């Protein structure tokens, strides 16, 4: 049961929360499905989504990374232009707003001060706001016009895991619901696809020993690590790097494969770990090229690919899910890599230094 606030037999909340991800996916399917197996969503939210000409996603940290994935869903499936903004930066360079903006706040805790200050500002300007949160009674949820609940159960570990995948799942449902309300023809049933994701997550959470071994092979003594990906994999590489740095204190950076030659490749030395994601067919060839470039400069490359796209040298192959939803599964081995890296370095997994679970100061 994902609603438990006890560790039970788990050594850390983070590991428990990683393991809860398939349960959370199934809970979300249940909560957003009506008796006829159609999507169930608040009519007011449906209307707000139909009326807006541009969505402005505001979030911080991991929730910002989920927003980047959500942008792809809303643009590709529901045909709505989307901007994703880091909450703390928004006020300095407030973009020129469209005629009918809708602000979507993504926040596990619903208490992040940087996001709240944007909410206060845009409410003063009279714009509508939707909060997607794991805590329905939270400040961001109370002060917005509409709320979508993540149903992930309490997330205790400072490093966010199940909230990230819940945010992505709910954003996929929101995008498809909007597309349906706009009578756009979609060949994508999110509930069915999320059920397959839940099964795939189960396979992955059973592969802990394999990931622990990869952690030993690639991250045992390193001081830094790079995550690369293109397209959807780029978004996940940002999250993989954040997870690793926040709990293992390994300096980590996620970036777009195509950006290597524009600077970062200068940092590649003998033995530098480079974790490359390859889950997208249309960029598989290009990301493989990047892997060759870093290997030629001595990198220790760990390729995580999706079934159907794998090559002999890949260290880890993910079960196949719908291409739009790969972030939900490619992140799982990255969460586990971070977990084992922190564990092997004797770091405080659930309460990393200098960090708070919810950041209530600006
Ligand atoms: C995630 O692992 C971090 N601890 C952090 O980036 C977090 O996602 C961020 O502070 C936003 O929190 P929120 O989702 O509760 O708003």
- Our mutation pick for probing the ligand 1 site, out of 13, 62, 136, 152, counting the most ligand atoms within 8 A of Cβ, is 62
* pLDDT value at residue 3: 54
Per residue, the 3-state secondary structure of 269-329, as one string, reads CCCCEEEEEECCHHHHHHHHHHHHHHHHCCCEEEEEEECCCCCCCCCEEECCCCHHHHHHH
Strands, E assignment, 87-187: 101-107, 129-133, 146-149
pLDDT category of residue 4 using cuts at 50, 70 and 90: low
261 assigned to active site: no
Q: Say if residue 44's pLDDT is above 70.
A: yes
Would you say residue 280 has pLDDT above 60?
yes
- Give pLDDT tens digits for 293-333: 999 999 999 999 999 999 999 999 999 999 999 999 999 99
Q: 59-75, pLDDT tens digit by residue?
A: 999 999 999 999 999 99
The rounded Å distance from CA 158 to ligand 1 centre is 8
133-137, 177-181, 234-238, 350-354: lowest mean pLDDT where? 350-354
Phi, psi for 23 (deg, rounded to 5)? -65, -40
Backbone angles phi, psi at 187, to 5 degrees: -110, 55
Residue in 14, 57, 58, 60 to alter for ligand 1 test, most ligand atoms within 8 A of Cβ: 60
Interface predicted TM-score of the whole assembly (ipTM), two decimals: 0.98
Number of H helices, E strands in the chain: 13, 10
Cα 31 to ligand 1 centre (Å): 24
* pLDDT tier for residue 356 given thresholds of 50, 70 and 90: confident
The predicted model scores a pTM of: 0.97
DSSP-based three-state secondary structure for 231 = coil
Closest ligand 1 atom number to CA of residue 62: 8
| Rounded distance between C-alpha atoms, residue 97 and residue 90, angstroms | 12
Expressed in angstroms and rounded, the spacing between residue 150 Cα and the centre of ligand 1 is: 14
352 contacts: CB under 8 Å, gap ≥ 6: 158, 159, 246, 247, 249, 342
Nearest to 57 by CA among 27, 86, 14: 86
**DSSP letters of 162-228?**
HHHHHHHHHHHHHHHHHHHHTT------HHHHHHHHHHHHHHHHT-HHHHHHHHHHHHSS-SEEEEE
pLDDT above 60 for 1: no
- Give me the sign of the Cα torsion angle 60, 263, 223, 341: positive
In the reported structure, the alpha carbon of residue 327 is separated from the centroid of ligand 1 by a whole-number distance in angstroms of 17
Q: Spell out which residues line ligand 1, taking CB within 6 angstroms.
A: 60-63, 107-109, 112, 115, 158-160, 246, 358-359
pLDDT more than 90, % of the chain = 91
pLDDT confidence of residue 6: 87
Closest atom of ligand 1 to CA, residue 115: 16
């Amino acid at each position: 049961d994902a609603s438990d606030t006890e560790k039970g037999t788990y050594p850390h909340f983070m590991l428990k929360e990683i393991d809860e991800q398939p349960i959370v996916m199934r809970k979300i399917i249940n909560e957003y499905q009506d008796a006829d197996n159609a999507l169930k969503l608040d009519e007011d939210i449906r209307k707000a989504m139909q009326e807006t000409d541009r969505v402005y996603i505001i979030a911080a940290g991991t929730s910002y990374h989920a927003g980047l994935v959500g942008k792809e869903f809303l643009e590709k499936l529901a045909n709505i232009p989307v901007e994703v903004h880091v909450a703390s930066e928004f006020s300095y360079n407030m973009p020129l707003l469209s005629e009918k903006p809708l602000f979507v706040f993504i926040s596990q805790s619903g208490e992040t001060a940087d996001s709240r200050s944007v909410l206060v500002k845009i409410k003063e300007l009279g714009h509508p706001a939707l909060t997607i949160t794991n805590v329905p009674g939270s400040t961001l949820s109370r002060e917005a016009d509409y709320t979508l609940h993540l149903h992930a159960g309490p997330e205790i570990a400072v490093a966010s895991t199940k909230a990230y995948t819940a945010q992505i799942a709910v954003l996929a449902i929101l995008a498809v619901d909007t597309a349906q309300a706009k009578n756009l023809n979609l060949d994508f049933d999110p509930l069915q696809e999320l059920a397959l994701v839940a099964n795939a997550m189960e396979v992955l959470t059973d592969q802990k020993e394999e990931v622990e071994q990869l952690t030993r092979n690639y991250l045992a003594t390193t001081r830094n690590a790079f995550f690369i990906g293109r397209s959807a994999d780029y978004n996940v590489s940002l999250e993989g790097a954040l997870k690793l740095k926040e709990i293992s204190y390994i300096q980590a950076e996620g970036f777009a494969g195509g950006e290597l030659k524009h600077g970062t490749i200068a940092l590649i030395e003998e033995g530098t770990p480079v974790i490359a994601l390859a889950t997208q067919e249309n960029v598989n060839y290009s990301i493989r090229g990047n892997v060759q470039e870093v290997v030629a400069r001595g990198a220790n490359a760990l390729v995580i690919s999706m079934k159907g796209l794998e090559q002999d040298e890949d260290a880890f192959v993910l079960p196949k899910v719908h291409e739009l939803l790969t972030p939900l599964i490619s992140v799982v081995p990255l969460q586990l890599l971070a977990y084992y890296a922190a564990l092997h370095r004797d770091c405080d997994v659930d309460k990393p230094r200098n960090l708070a679970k919810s950041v209530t100061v600006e």
